[in-house]
């Protein structure tokens, strides 16, 4: 992260106009989803947020590059919302990256379309949070596992935030953790939209929802 970028992001923050948020949602088996489905519904209801169901829009993986680039241009925040599949995104989000983040658009000497936009993942993971560390069976933290995304954002000149993550997601409903997670998510979205989320404080966190009180100013 360069200092100029951080400055730019702070001026954005001060801007009174609201940020528009693009949530690219990917779940290949929506009818069996317990967490992502309600998260998606909640996202749909937040004003100023555009939700794109990628598997719904491109069931044959033929991503419309022009349309997706246009969407990127119209938003200031880009979110990948998905379950964690093999320490990465479901296939269509990789396809989306391969097709939409073109040379000359997203990177390269003339590819500046994404500069300064905020990017992060909102993901659900099956393992316990404790497993995501050097001594756990997953050996890496969630941030480390997402380095390819972080670096992609970096090459495109975007501001990368840590993932908004739910661990042990298969048991979240049974243990009654779903509602608070959804509420936290809506809180983060609205704060981002209204410029009430302290991006600078969030940059170095292990996950975006580590301590919302520290980064969200209540409006």
Partner 1 sequence: MGGLLIQAFIYLCAAVIAVPIAKRLGLGSVLGYLIAGIIIGPVVGLVGSETQAIQHFAEFGVVMMLFLVGLELEPWMLWRMRNRLIGLGGLQVFVTAALITGICLLFDIYWSVALAVGLIFSLSSTAIVLQTLNEKGLSRTEGGRGSFSVLLFQDIAVIPMLALIPLLALPELSASGLENSTYNLNAEKHETFSLVAGLPAWGYTLVVLGSVALVVLGGHFLSRPLFRFIADSRLREIFTASALLLVIGIALLMTLVDLSPALGTFLAGVVLANSEFRHELESSIEPFKGLLLGLFFITVGAGIDFGILFGDFALLLGLTLGVILLKGAVLFGLALLFSLKPGDGWLFTLGLAQAGEFGFVLLSFSLQNSVIPSDLAKTLSLIVALSMLLTPALFILYEKIVLPRLNPEEQQEPDSIDEQGTVVIAGVGRFGQIVNRLLVASDVHTIVLDHEAAMVDTLRKLGIQSYYGDASRPDLLHAAGIESAEVFVVAIDDRERSVEMVGYVRRHYPHIRILARAFDVNHLYLLKQAGVDLAVREMFEGSLQTGAEVLKLLGMHPFKVEKMTWAFRHHDEVGLDHLYELWDENPDIARNRAFLARAKEHGESLRGMMESDRMQAHDQSERAWTPPPKGYADSFQAEGDTAGGPDSS
Under rule CB under 8 A, residue 212 binds partner 1: no
Q: Closest approach of Cβ 45 to partner 1, in Å?
A: 16
Closest CA to 64 of 30, 23, 44, 92: 92
Under rule CB under 8 A, residue 2 binds partner 1: yes
Q: Could you tell me how many helices (H) and strands (E) the chain has, helices first?
A: 10, 6
Closest CA to 98 of 144, 152, 22: 152
Identify which range of 26-34, 107-115, 124-132, 184-192 contacts partner 1 by CB under 8 A. 107-115
Identify which range of 9-17, 33-41, 151-159, 211-219 contacts partner 1 by CB under 8 A. 151-159
Under rule CB under 8 A, residue 45 binds partner 1: no
User: Whole-angstrom Cα distance, residue 16 to residue 25?
Assistant: 28
Q: Closest approach of Cβ 80 to partner 1, in Å?
A: 17
Under rule CB under 8 A, residue 98 binds partner 1: yes
Residue 191, token pair as written in the block? 């704060």
Under rule CB under 8 A, residue 137 binds partner 1: no
Under rule CB under 8 A, residue 113 binds partner 1: no
* Alpha carbons within 13 A on the beta-carbon side of 161: 29
User: Whole-angstrom Cα distance, residue 203 to residue 159?
Assistant: 9
Binding residues (CB under 8 A) for partner 1: these are: 2, 62-63, 65, 98-99, 102-104, 107-109, 151-152, 154-155
């Amino acid at each position: 992260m360069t200092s100029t970028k951080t400055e730019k992001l702070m001026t954005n923050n001060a801007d009174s106009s609201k940020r528009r948020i693009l949530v690219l949602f990917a779940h290949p088996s929506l009818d069996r989803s317990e967490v992502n489905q309600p998260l998606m519904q909640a996202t749909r209801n937040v004003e100023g947020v555009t939700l794109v169901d990628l598997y719904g829009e491109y069931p044959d993986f033929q991503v419309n590059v022009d349309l997706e680039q246009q969407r990127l241009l119209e938003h200031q925040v880009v979110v990948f919302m998905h379950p964690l599949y093999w320490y990465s995104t479901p296939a269509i989000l990789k396809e989306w990256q391969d097709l939409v983040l073109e040379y000359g658009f997203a990177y390269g000497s003339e590819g500046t379309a994404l500069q300064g936009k905020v990017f992060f993942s909102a993901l659900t993971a099956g393992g316990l949070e404790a497993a995501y560390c050097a001594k756990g069976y997953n050996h890496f933290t969630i941030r480390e596992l997402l380095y390819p995304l972080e670096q992609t954002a970096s090459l495109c000149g975007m501001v990368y935030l840590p993932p908004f993550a739910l661990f042990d997601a298969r048991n979240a409903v049974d243990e009654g953790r779903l509602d608070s997670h959804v509420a936290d998510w809506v809180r983060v979205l609205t704060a981002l939209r209204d410029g009430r989320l302290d991006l600078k404080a969030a940059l170095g966190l292990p996950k975006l929802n580590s301590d919302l009180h520290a980064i969200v100013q209540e409006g």
